[in-house]
Amino acid sequence: MKFKANNMILTLAIASCFQSARAEDRIQLARHDVDVYADDVVVTANHMSEPLVIETDPRIPRQPLPAHDGADYLKTIPGFSVMRKGGSDGEPIFRGMAGSRLNILVDGQNVQGGCSMRMDAPTSYIFPEAYDKLTIVKGPQTVLFGPGGSAASVMFDRSIKFLKEPGYTGRSSLLVGSFGRNDEVVDIKAGNENFYVQGVGTNSFSQNYKDGNGDQVHSSYHRYSGNVGFGFAFDENTKLELSGAYSNGWAQYADRAMDGAKFQRENYALRFEKTNISPLINKISLLVSRNDIDHVMDDYSLRQPPSSMQMGWAQLKHQTDNFKFSIDLSPKENFILNLGMDAQLASHEKAWGRNYMKSMMNDPSLFSRDMQKDSTFKQIGFFGEGKYFLNDDVKFVGGYRFDEWDAKDKRDTTNHGTEGSDTSGRKRSEGLNSGFIRVEKNIATYPITFYTGFGHSERFPDYWELIPSHRGLAGMDGNSSAFLSTKVEKTNQLDLGFVSTRDKLSFSGSVFYSDINDYILIDYRSAYKGTMNMGGSSRNIDAYSYGAEFDAAYKINDEWKTTAAFAYVRGRNETDNKALSQLPPLEARVGLSYDDHTWFGGALVRAAAEQNHYSAGQGNIAGQDIGRSGGFATVSLHAGYRPTKQTVVTAGVDNLFDKNYAEFISRSGSNGMGSPITGFVQTTRVNEPGRTIWLKGTINF
Ligand SMILES: [Cu+2]
């Protein structure tokens, strides 16, 4: 891990944050250093640094203040929305696409949440400040990061970096804010040029926040994590890292009948890289990892329990093993090629209890049935992605991957009772093809780069689409299984855009049109709310969507800069002749910032239009359209001071005018049965936080 934040502060503050880093080979996106974006606070939005790619440093504070987790971090990037469920564990959505339409990788690994009711998106297990770099590739325009991911690939990465001389380096930050919020991060690396040991610890807590009306939202959470890594450099070009991570916590939810009492992740990983092997072979890399999620939810430990007959709990475990091998080749001076294979093995199991007497619920373990597997998913994929430089100004990029998927339904009425399945014991296998091609044209005199790409992505239905969801609109119980009926989703997408970086003015834009055959819609209109299994129906429809994101930054002088960004998306469910659900309204941000290298500050206005295009009751594995939403605008301010090169103190206020509002993409603010959570106000949607004041200090050493 690099700790150059201190000299970053100087050099980067001086440099425009919109420096382009497009120069060289970007095939190994996930391995690059963060060399752009050196603001101390990300005010408006993260800039597209090259066609379709956004890179940012997840340790830089942003406005508004993110929750502890990965989803909130993504929200500052135009095109992303976060579905709010409470104070944490929001669901990231890009251009209205959620779930496994986003490939979310942590150090190259697929982390799958455990909750069948989707309390935990993969980002729930990511504390962004523990990572060096966040990279986003928009659209089906890469095949390097695993199958699916038709909407975007999102990578949180820690680099394998050694110290130049024996010693130690580190970083610590402390954040305090409204509603009892406090986050602590310590990150220390000790070693020399051949070896390091790194430890990262994080802790984050918040009490219930209050919305703009001053009403408390059932949203308190606590999360903590520890990562340990041992790095070995056998020589300059050969690196190995063994790492382990543990995290846990709990969270209250404002949108459902249960809270998350346990979110435990255990992770082990081995990463190996060998570079500069021969003129042909630039690099080989290997990853082997295991992620074990152990999640418990209940309706009594973190809230006022309901009547005794409704009390219940569930424990869910998701184990995901990942393997990846890849090789970077340069067959010709102007041609680079990445070949590899990856594999994933996931198994999910579940135990639950309900309808027990309140007095007997004190020890849930008393009622714990043996954990029962409900499914296994296996995937093996082969991929190749190349870049061909026709000349200095024209580049072709293309890739293809083949994935073999095998899934097995392990539910039966013996071990899953009423949640058994009429496809118990059945298997399904699919061979899927995905690929893309793109041309990038640089006009050096301006300079500006234009790109056009076409991508095809075939996505195997994920756990949530096959197991907790039912088949057909009549699905009133767990026995109507969607396991065999849900078809593979096929996306054909056209991506166009431009990126320009000049001294004073930088801007980028991306436009897309996506035609989706057999889009997997989760239709909640018939969801049976009387049991714990409240999944909707998993249906294939034909749909299309289109939209654009645009951002610009203008340097008024050495100290002052203005920025602007907007995102727009629209789509249609052609099968039902309705609006495609879960698409956010038009959103715009305008920011102004000042930085004289010692003092800095800024203001941000974020505005969202009303949304009248919706299909109530339809959505995805995480949520559904509730109805129309009104527009809103919020204002945030921040100011900061760098007393020394190693120290930064930043303070901010988000939602300055204490506006009461909710995002269009949100969960409903009730207990999931249409009633308020006892002791809380019921709202149509889960309202966003009201005025929030925060103070953050960071020390590098
Ligand atoms: Cu859960």
The per-residue pLDDT for range 208-219, each reduced to its tens digit, is: 999 999 999 999
CA 120 to centroid of ligand 1, rounded, Å: 7
C-alpha distances (whole Å) from 345 to each of 236, 261, 637 are 33, 26, 45
pLDDT tens digits, 399-444: 999 999 999 999 876 666 666 788 999 999 999 999 999 999 999 9
Helix (H) or strand (E) holding 84: none
Q: What is the average pLDDT across 332-360? A: 84
Residue 676 pLDDT class (50, 70, 90 cuts)? confident
Report helix, strand or coil for 180: coil
Instruction: Output the six-digit token pair for 655.
Output: 């939602």
Say how far apart CA 320 and CA 104 lie, in whole Å.
13
Q: What DSSP string runs through 124-171?
A: GG--GGG-SEEEEEESS---TT-S--SSEEEEEE------SSSEEEEE
- In whole numbers, what is the pLDDT of the chain averaged over residues? 88
On the CB side of 495, CA atoms within 13 Å amount to: 28
What's the mean pLDDT in 682-689?
Answer: 94
From CA 545, how far away is CA 324, in angstroms rounded? Answer: 32
Ligand 1 center from residue 118 Cα (angstroms): 6
| CA of 293 relative to ligand 1 center, distance in Å | 11
Confidence at residue 36, expressed as pLDDT on a 0 to 100 scale:
29
What pLDDT, on the 0 to 100 scale, is given for residue 2? 39
Give the containing element (helix H, strand E) for 533.
none
H/E stretch holding 269 reads strand 259-275
pTM, two decimals, is 0.90
Residues in Cβ contact with 569 at an 8 Å cutoff, skipping those fewer than 6 apart? 79, 95, 96, 545, 546, 547, 583, 584
Give the model's pLDDT for residue 320: 97
**Mean pLDDT computed over 367-389:** 89
CA of 12 to the centre of ligand 1 (A): 42
Q: Please give the distance, rounded to the nearest whole angstrom, from the Cα atom of residue 497 to the centre of ligand 1.
A: 39
User: What's the CA gap between 104 and 91, in Å, rounded?
Assistant: 12
Beta bridge partners of 587: 567, 608
CA of 460 from ligand 1 middle (Å) equals: 23
Dist CA 594 CA 134 (whole Å): 25
Report which of 78, 70, 82, 158 is spatially closest to residue 122, judged by C-alpha positions: 70
Any idea what DSSP says for residue 14? Answer: H
In this structure, the strands spanning 372-389 and 335-354 are antiparallel
- Distance from the alpha carbon of residue 314 to the mean position of ligand 1, in angstroms: 7
Two tokens at 421?
Answer: 């399945």
Q: Are 308 and 268 in contact (CB under 8 A)?
A: no
Q: How far is the CA of 297 from the centre of ligand 1 (A)?
A: 5
Strand, helix or coil for residue 526: coil
H/E run at residue 219: none
pLDDT > 90 fraction of the chain, expressed in percent and rounded: 73
Calculate how far, in angstroms, residue 318's C-alpha sits from the geometric centre of ligand 1: 12
d(C-alpha 150, C-alpha 144), whole Å:
12
Contacts of 463 (CB under 8 A, 6+ apart): 112, 318, 346, 348, 375, 377
pLDDT at res. 527:
58
Q: Tell the residue number behind the tokens 């006022």, with chain if given.
A: 304
pLDDT mean over 514-522: 97
Residue with tokens 């004041």: 693
Q: Give the Cα-Cα-Cα angle 42, 44, 48 (nearest 5 degrees).
A: 85
Q: Give the Å distance between the CA of 256 and the centre of ligand 1.
A: 10
How many angstroms does the Cα of residue 643 sit away from the middle of ligand 1?
Answer: 44
Give the count of beta carbons closer than 10 Å to the beta carbon of residue 382.
15
Q: Which tokens is 2 given?
A: 């690099």
What DSSP designation does 696 have?
E
Query: Average pLDDT in the 239-261 region?
Result: 95
The answer on pLDDT for 176 being more than 70 is yes
Q: What is the 3-state secondary structure (H, E, C) of 307-370?
A: CHHHCEEEEEEEEEEEEEEEEEEEEECCEEEEEEEEEEEEEEEEEEEECCCHHHCCCHHHHCCC
CA proximity to 71, closest of 90, 85, 55, 53 = 90
Q: Are 416 and 478 in contact (CB under 8 A)?
A: yes
How much distance in Å is there from the Cα of 413 to the middle of ligand 1? 22
- Residue 503 pLDDT > 90, yes or no? no
d(CA 507, CA 500) in angstroms, rounded, equals 5
The burial class, CB within 10 Å (0-12 / 13-18 / 19+), for 426 is middle
Place of tokens 């013996």: 414
415-424, 536-545, 666-675: the lowest-pLDDT one? 415-424
Distance (angstroms) between ligand 1 centre and the Cα of 295 equals 7
> Nearest CA to 19 among 344, 556, 502, 452?
502
Report the relative pairing of strands 91-94 and 80-83 from DSSP bridges: antiparallel
Residues sharing a CB contact under 8 Å with residue 405, sequence separation 6 or more, in sequence order:
147, 377, 378, 379, 428, 429, 430, 431, 432, 460
pLDDT for residue 473: 63
Q: What is the DSSP letter of 530?
A: T
Residues composing the chain: 701
The Å distance, Cα 403 to ligand 1 centre, comes to: 30
Ligand 1 geometric centre to CA of 259 (Å) = 7
Decide if pLDDT at 24 tops 60. Answer: no
312/308 Cα distance (integer angstroms): 9
In tens, the pLDDT along 267-277 reads 999 999 999 99
State the DSSP H helix or E strand holding residue 275, giving kind and residue range, or none if neither: strand 259-275
Contacts of 58 (CB under 8 A, 6+ apart): 73, 128, 129, 131, 132, 133, 134, 156
- The CA distance from 632 to 659, in Å, is 8
Per DSSP, the three-state class of 282 is strand
Residue 115 CA to residue 262 CA, distance in Å, equals 11
